[in-house]
Chains A and B, each alone.
Chain A
Amino acid sequence: MSRVTTHETTHSSVKDMVWRWGAGPCWGVAAFLTWWLPDGDDFPDTTLLAGLFLACGVVLLILAALKRLRYWAPWSAVLGLGLGAWEVAQAKFLLLPRPFFGTPQDLLDVFLTDWKRLGDSLLHSLLLLLIGYGIGACVGIVVGMALGRSLRFRYWVRPIMRVIGPLPPVALLPLAFVIMPSTRLAGEALMALSAGFPVAVLTWSGVAAVDPAYYDVARTMGAKDRFLVLRVALPAATPQIFVGLFMGLGASFSMLVVAEMLGVKSGLGFYMQWAQGWAAYPNMYAALLVMALMCTSLMTLLFKLRDYVLRWQKDGLKW
């Protein structure tokens, strides 16, 4: 048994070494090709791009020396090679149809020259998203708790939820633009709706599934309704509530993009729409990249929050 383990350890440690010390040179190769091969057309910032590739390679080598590069070593190596291949294929040999496919330096140039507008768009999107999602999530939790605990509330609200809930909120967009005083408010309202519905339904199902014995325990000690709702039902339902919060966040993302593309005159969706209208494809890619980073960062934040709030659970899914 121990011999097998030793053998596997040596084998995998050689592989680890190759990945760890290979990642930096991969970026070095990309940097060299970028600098050495002549550009196929007049592209900006080629030398700067080569310098950035080289800097990444050096950083990776330093990390390897400090033994900080292990898990992400294969990814780092392949990413460097991939960027190098893209650079060679598109900037040097012009293999893909232009202008729909840009070069790495085009993308870099957008960030260098248009970072102000991109950052501004990101801020607007974030604000729109967080206000709409925040309101939707809070209202969803309150409505879900009420659905789970009050018969009368359930009688009146459930039919409404059943009719409006399954409707994609996007379908309400034209109506919202008409009846709301501003497109921005319309976007907020629809984002709140698209986040609120899954949160409400999942909160409700979480509250409905609470073991009645949990209430008995608190009641025998003299707990009143307020305690039963806030200190028993709510914490017992949190695992389900977080499922709803994740679904709601995803729904808010799509609502955000649609709202910004169709009416709201700011944000990353608007930027993309504008870039596409002017055939500024590198700008579109840049906005897409920023948007992807924004979405994954918010998801990661929500996962971190969940991991903290649900630390009492045995094990949870990792993002």
Chain B
Amino acid sequence: MVKTAATQPALKPLSLHIDHLNHGYEAQGAMRPVLDDVSFDVAPGEFVALLGPSGCGKSTLLRLIAGLEAPLSGTIEADGREITGPGPDRIVMFQDPTLYPWRTVEENVALGLDIHKKRDPKIVRDALHLVGLEKDATSWPHQLSGGMAQRVALARALVNNPRMLILDEPLGKLDSLTRLTMQGEIRRFWQQQGFSALMVTHDVEEALLLATRVLVFSPRPARIVSDQPIELSAEQRHRDDPHVIALRRAILEQLGHRNDW
């Protein structure tokens, strides 16, 4: 499914430095903390998976890194410069495809280019080719299946030639077979295009198959419980590999599922 067609120059992947980050929301007059003193670094080109119980604050962390919200305290630096807002170097892919229904598939993919008034049909075509949807370029979003829509969202992200791809559970709502295919695609895009990647997921296996490093968070307010590199070779990155199974058990234990199944 994945083709090699990188028309845009590969950019240097982004590094992150996150220092004593705290965040929270006000609800019914009280402050509800969401992030509790979170610090970690991401080296250029790393693929970091963020695991944690549902609702712990991982997605909030991603929104802060994307610059969609400002933290209450602490700093986030990208390549040594503090993040003050969203920027095309950090592109987010959300759990829902959130395609614009009034734009055709190709117009959706071209969104980032339109925002910066740099529409280039060739870049759009190549991105659609990359996700195998060039035949659907003129379809409307309501004509797509869930997997196709998420592929369009992926193409829409890649068109920006991001230096960091921020993935907020992008495969969470797909059926398991489509999910397997797209896991492979995301992994290969990451290898080919060499961006840094941050991915929130609930699926421990997915984290182990894709990431080079896994951060485990506590229940809300999110604190880093463990930070471990995943040093697996390409052959070992398989669902039934004993290394993967051992790591999965260890991480599930950290998530508080020692005795479950």
- Quick check: A221 and B86 within 8 Å, CB to CB? yes
Shortest C-beta distance, A270 to chain B (Å), equals 42
B231, CB-defined interface residue at 8 Å: no
- Quick check: B115 and A221 within 8 Å, CB to CB? yes
Q: Find chain A residues with CB under 8 A from B112 CB.
A: 221-222
Residue of A nearest to B101 (CB): A312
Q: For the complex, what is the distance from the CA of A232 to the CA of B108, rounded to whole Å?
A: 12
8 Å CB contacts to A: which residues of B203-228?
Answer: none
8 Å CB contacts to B: which residues of A205-256?
Answer: 211, 213-214, 216-223, 227, 231-232, 235-236, 238
Q: For the complex, what is the distance from the CA of A235 to the CA of B103, rounded to whole Å?
A: 9
Partner of A219, one of B68, B96, B102, B140: B68
A313, CB-defined interface residue at 8 Å: yes
Q: Given A227-B115, A231-B114, A312-B140, A222 and B98 touching (CB < 8 A)?
A: no
- Quick check: A312 and B68 within 8 Å, CB to CB? no
B64, CB-defined interface residue at 8 Å: no
Number of interface residues of A (CB under 8 A): 20
Q: Given A220-B66, A221-B91, A232 and B100 touching (CB < 8 A)?
A: yes
Shortest C-beta distance, A90 to chain B (Å), equals 53
A11, CB-defined interface residue at 8 Å: no
Complex interface bits, B84-115 against A, C-beta within 8 A gives 1, otherwise 0: 00111011101010101111100000011011
Shortest C-beta distance, A317 to chain B (Å), equals 17
Partner of A220, one of B90, B96, B100, B116: B90
A314, CB-defined interface residue at 8 Å: yes
Q: For the complex, what is the distance from the CA of A314 to the CA of B101, rounded to whole Å?
A: 10
Q: Find chain B residues with CB under 8 A from A232 CB.
A: 100
Partner of A214, one of B67, B86, B98: B98
B160, CB-defined interface residue at 8 Å: yes
Q: Given A220-B66, A238-B102, A213 and B111 touching (CB < 8 A)?
A: no
Q: Find chain B residues with CB under 8 A from A216 CB.
A: 68, 92, 94, 98
- Quick check: A213 and B96 within 8 Å, CB to CB? yes
- Quick check: B115 and A213 within 8 Å, CB to CB? no
Q: Find chain A residues with CB under 8 A from B101 CB.
A: 312-313
B142, CB-defined interface residue at 8 Å: yes
Residue of A nearest to B100 (CB): A214
Shortest C-beta distance, B119 to chain A (Å), equals 12
Residue of B nearest to A215 (CB): B68
Shortest C-beta distance, A316 to chain B (Å), equals 13
Q: For the complex, what is the distance from the CA of A312 to the CA of B140, rounded to whole Å?
A: 6
- Quick check: B88 and A221 within 8 Å, CB to CB? yes
Q: Given A213-B98, A235-B102, A312-B102, A220 and B142 touching (CB < 8 A)?
A: no
Q: Find chain B residues with CB under 8 A from A231 CB.
A: 114
Q: For the complex, what is the distance from the CA of A112 to the CA of B88, rounded to whole Å?
A: 68
Complex interface bits, A239-280 against B, C-beta within 8 A gives 1, otherwise 0: 000000000000000000000000000000000000000000
Q: For the complex, what is the distance from the CA of A302 to the CA of B101, rounded to whole Å?
A: 21
Q: Given A222-B88, A235-B100, A238-B102, A217 and B94 touching (CB < 8 A)?
A: yes
- Quick check: B98 and A211 within 8 Å, CB to CB? yes
Partner of A314, one of B88, B92, B142: B142
Q: Find chain B residues with CB under 8 A from A235 CB.
A: 100, 102
Q: Find chain B residues with CB under 8 A from A211 CB.
A: 98
Q: For the complex, what is the distance from the CA of A288 to the CA of B86, rounded to whole Å?
A: 59
8 Å CB contacts to A: which residues of B120-178?
Answer: 140-142, 160, 166
Q: Find chain B residues with CB under 8 A from A218 CB.
A: 111, 115
Q: Given A213-B94, A312-B140, A223 and B100 touching (CB < 8 A)?
A: no
Q: Given A214-B98, A235-B100, A222 and B66 touching (CB < 8 A)?
A: no
Complex interface bits, A296-319 against B, C-beta within 8 A gives 1, otherwise 0: 000000000000000011100000
- Quick check: B115 and A223 within 8 Å, CB to CB? yes
Give the A-binding residues of B (Cβ under 8 A): 66-68, 86-88, 90-92, 94, 96, 98, 100-104, 111-112, 114-116, 140-142, 160, 166
Given A220-B166, A235-B102, A313-B142; 18 other pairs, CB 8 A cutoff: A213-B94, A213-B98, A214-B98, A216-B92, A216-B98, A217-B94, A217-B111, A220-B92, A221-B115, A222-B86, A222-B116, A223-B115, A227-B115, A231-B114, A232-B100, A236-B100, A236-B102, A312-B101
Q: List 16 A-B contacts (CB under 8 A).
A: A211-B98, A214-B100, A216-B68, A216-B92, A219-B68, A220-B67, A220-B90, A221-B111, A221-B112, A221-B160, A222-B87, A222-B112, A231-B114, A232-B100, A238-B102, A314-B142
Give the B-binding residues of A (Cβ under 8 A): 211, 213-214, 216-223, 227, 231-232, 235-236, 238, 312-314
Kindly list the 4 A-B residue pairs having the minimum CB-CB distance in the complex, ordered from nearest: A221-B112, A220-B92, A235-B102, A222-B88
